[in-house]
Structure 1
């Protein structure tokens, strides 16, 4: 989004802060919030609606309960904290998945199912993507036995290369991008900040662009 003057830009930033971020629980680490805010302000990657209103605790608890019932594991704590800050993330590079929240002020976040006009939104929710990885993705049992890892939590996807997803290993607590066709080609990162810096600043000098 472009602004006609400095006042318009500052007005939008202040309004966004008090509309969404001021009321968001500060469950993320300060350095994570700082990096996320820096990414949001980078117009090369993001746009006005990149970050969304926080998911309610009720919605997070409901999604976590459904995740446990369907997959036998909870949603990792790091992502529950992220959802409490912003219910997903949308940019020109990556999407981090949403959860349905019937109390959300954003209409299309209230449900996983949308009509034909917003059908593309249906693909950006958390549980359907993990269901696909755990159940629907595998053409045969041999491939599943070779490559499927029940400890992988899928929380995002590349916007242009849909076969590349953002993953978290619940056994090693590492972050990485998982390629649909090349399962062994992955570089692990020990925390969310390191992973975010990699996927958003991998072609830049990190010291110059990332905190």
Structure 2
């Protein structure tokens, strides 16, 4: 069976980050499906500079080799799951920069979020969805939010995520189902398998 290629992106690059733990959990869960091929993509390993191109690559090719390498990597995927903390009511600076370093590679693909923090990174996720809309992506309604007591257990007390699965598994499964539906739908569109819409009436 053909599978959607999905990236799980670890968006925090701090030395003391928690992100790799939930990233591995959602990657393992998604990997059990028969419709997804999962790859964990760690922003820390790309060492992207701050965006310094003459323009977005929507208007011309980027010159920085690190930016081009990033564009080539994310261009491989049919959809994305962003694993993010919340920094001052927004997603991580590293992730915003990663969004800005590409444009055409993000277009017409679904994106989902797993957030963690005091409020489950709810505001960071909303911020990410807004950015994704500008990048012509399809933000998935359902997300995974590890917050409150669950966050304290796994991030501070370092209990295994299996200890909080009862709280987050239903939302994770719903998110993955939506990601798959939109993944196949947008893939069909990108491949020209959806008829062109009729021109709007001028009346």
Is this a same-fold pair by TM over 0.5? Answer: no
TM-score, with length taken from structure 2:
0.31
TM-score, with length taken from structure 1:
0.30
- Larger RCO (CA under 8 A, 6+ residues apart): 2
